[in-house]
């Protein structure tokens, strides 16, 4: 049997474009002589559709798309993902489903059993778990079809009571097929290989795993679809961060005509959960994920041009370089806004960066505007000493200028804050925290430096002075980040233990971190949730990003 994998980039709610892509994938598979073509989870409507699922019109459009797609499933079978209406009054109104289309008919509908309701997932908000499990008979083969999370319920601490493959094995299937929408993070590429290997070793069946690709606001899907033989050898992996089609032929003995890419013994045996933050882990993949996320955010929203404040610091430099790669240098405008406390080399460094990249830039000193603010506030401030309020006026002046230019010319403002700053509240609301999307908001400061070095891997794009100089907000004389924050090489590792690994203060202190520092940092994280709650969407590259995947109270007292 010849089976095709269609790894495609969908657009949530864009039924016309999604349907066109799926039909093109079917046509390609037909030309390759495929018997069956496998698409990804909820591909008809795009994943995650969230509260769009509450609209009857949205569900109706999903059904219309299925009706159109099935007309192309004539001589070829097609597996596509879409919602299905629950006919039973009790329970949720919908199932997350895989439709098996053949001979221009819906031959079978498979419902997802394991509905993730953690991190960025909230499927149990909308869907009912499957009531029953049936294999699909097709051309002499018994197909065990599952959907994404259905294959993750293994190990000694399963999250769900039912494991669909355990039920399907009672019907003696020949192959496992999985439709997925599995987001990227820097641990997940290896996680998937480990979990599929565990499934194959347990059930002694080959598996085809089709994942979607593309970015949906903050969530990045990296593709990397997989084919495993019945011996748990990796036969094929589709590329990361790009659309791709592949066809494989399954022989009668359960093996594939393609040769082994990676032997089972060389594949991971367990999910990857780093005990410590590795600044250099998957830097190339993180770079590619962010570039794709910027590109998709702009193209799917109908935007073409970006603007950002270029300070001569590492964060804005990396953001600018990533944006130029994603959107084209001519479509990214940098605004240099020196204050009375900016150093001369900050301006010259930022200028050199834009010259290296070839993007347009302007220099707009904020001295006069800043001083006019101080003059107007003088009757209220009187003779109070210079402090954070005066620093924030500079940041908000820059934010106002950037938004004014963005409004006038149709730009989208890229935010340049990093995860270390957002965690500790080291940023100004409505100032340097303004933006349409947070490019580096899930990258710790040391990861930003690793990205800079990766960007410079072939030639010096980001000036070495930007990479080597001590980081500073330059909002008061001789200011350094280290005046307010611990050294980033220590801070980032501490934050990783609390945010990604959810370690408490006692456990973190037991690792050797200074006790006073731990209490201070964790308090900084928790009392600044109100700032993050007002922040723009953040491109997710870690297992625990700020935003929809991390939900903590603003007014909570814990550790604050």
Q: Which residues are catalytic?
A: 41, 112, 148
DSSP string, 390-427: HHHHHHHHHHHHHHHHHHHHT-EEEE---HHHHHHT-S
CA distance 317 to 557: 37
Question: What is the token pair recorded at 328?
Answer: 């084209």
Cα separation values, 431 from 349, 378, 417, Å: 22, 21, 11
DSSP string, 213-279: EEEETTEEEEB--EEE-TTS-EEEEPPBSS-EEEEEEB-TTS-BSSPPSB-GGGS-SS----SS--T
Query: Do 332 and 316 form a contact (C-beta atoms < 8 A)?
Result: no
CA distance 36 to 101: 10
Task: Please state the separation of Cα 526 from the chain's center in Å.
Answer: 23
Q: Among 256, 261, 143, which Cα is nearest to 193's?
A: 261
Would you say how long the chain is, in residues?
560
Buried b vs exposed e over 492-521: b needs ≥16 C-beta within 10 Å? Answer: bbbbbbbbbbebebeebbeeebeeeebeeb
Cα separation values, 488 from 503, 526, 528, Å: 19, 18, 18
Query: Do 262 and 234 form a contact (C-beta atoms < 8 A)?
Result: yes
Radius of gyration of the chain from Cα atoms?
Answer: 26
């Amino acid at each position: 049997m010849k089976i095709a994998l269609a790894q495609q980039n969908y657009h949530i709610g864009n039924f016309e474009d999604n349907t066109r892509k799926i039909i093109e994938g079917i046509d390609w598979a037909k030309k390759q002589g495929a018997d069956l073509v496998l698409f990804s989870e909820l591909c008809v409507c795009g994943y995650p559709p969230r509260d769009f699922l509450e609209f009857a019109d949205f569900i109706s459009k999903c059904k219309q798309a299925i009706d159109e797609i099935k007309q192309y499933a004539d001589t070829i079978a097609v597996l596509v993902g879409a919602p299905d209406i629950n006919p039973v009054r009790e329970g949720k109104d919908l199932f997350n489903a895989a439709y098996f289309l053949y001979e221009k008919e819906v031959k079978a509908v498979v419902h997802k059993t394991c509905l993730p309701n953690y991190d960025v997932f909230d499927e149990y908000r909308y869907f009912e778990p499957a009531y029953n499990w049936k294999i699909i008979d097709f051309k002499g083969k018994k197909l065990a079809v599952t959907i994404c999370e259905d294959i993750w319920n293994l190990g000694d601490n399963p999250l769900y009571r039912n494991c669909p493959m355990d039920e399907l094995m009672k019907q003696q299937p020949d192959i496992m097929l999985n439709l997925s929408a599995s987001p990227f993070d820097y641990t997940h590429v290896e996680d998937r290989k480990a979990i599929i290997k565990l499934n194959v070793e347990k059930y002694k069946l080959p598996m085809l795993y089709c994942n979607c690709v593309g970015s949906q606001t903050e969530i990045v899907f990296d593709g990397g679809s997989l084919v495993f033989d019945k011996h748990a050898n990796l036969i094929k992996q589709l590329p990361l961060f790009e659309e791709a089609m592949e066809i494989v032929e399954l022989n009668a003995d359960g093996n594939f005509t393609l040769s082994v890419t990676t032997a089972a013994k060389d594949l991971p045996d367990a999910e990857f959960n780093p005990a410590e933050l590795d600044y250099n882990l998957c830097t190339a993949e993180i770079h590619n994920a962010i570039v794709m996320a910027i590109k998709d955010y702009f193209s799917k929203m109908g935007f073409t041009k970006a603007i950002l404040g270029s300070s001569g610091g590492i964060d804005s430099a990396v953001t600018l370089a990533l944006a130029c790669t994603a959107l084209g240098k001519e479509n990214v405008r940098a605004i240099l806004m020196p204050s009375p406390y900016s150093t001369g080399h900050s301006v010259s460094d930022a200028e050199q960066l834009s010259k290296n990249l070839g993007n347009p830039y302007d220099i707009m000193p904020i001295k006069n505007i800043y001083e006019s603010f101080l003059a107007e506030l003088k009757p209220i401030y009187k003779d109070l000493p210079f402090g954070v309020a005066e620093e924030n006026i500079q940041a908000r002046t820059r934010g106002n200028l950037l938004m004014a230019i963005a409004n006038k010319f149709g730009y989208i403002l890229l935010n340049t804050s990093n995860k270390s700053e957002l965690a500790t509240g080291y940023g100004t609301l409505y100032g340097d925290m303004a933006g349409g999307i947070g490019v580096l908001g899930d990258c710790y400061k040391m990861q930003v430096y690793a990205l800079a070095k990766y960007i410079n891997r072939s030639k010096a794009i980001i000036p070495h002075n930007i990479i080597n100089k001590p980081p500073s907000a330059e909002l008061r004389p001789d200011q350094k980040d280290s005046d307010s924050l611990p050294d980033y090489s220590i801070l980032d590792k501490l934050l990783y233990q609390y945010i990604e690994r959810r370690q408490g203060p006692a456990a973190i202190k037991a690792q050797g971190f200074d006790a006073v520092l731990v209490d201070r940092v964790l308090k900084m994280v928790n009392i600044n949730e109100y700032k993050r709650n007002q922040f723009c969407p953040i491109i997710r590259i870690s297992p625990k990003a700020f935003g929809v995947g991390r939900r903590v109270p603003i007014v909570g007292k814990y550790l604050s």
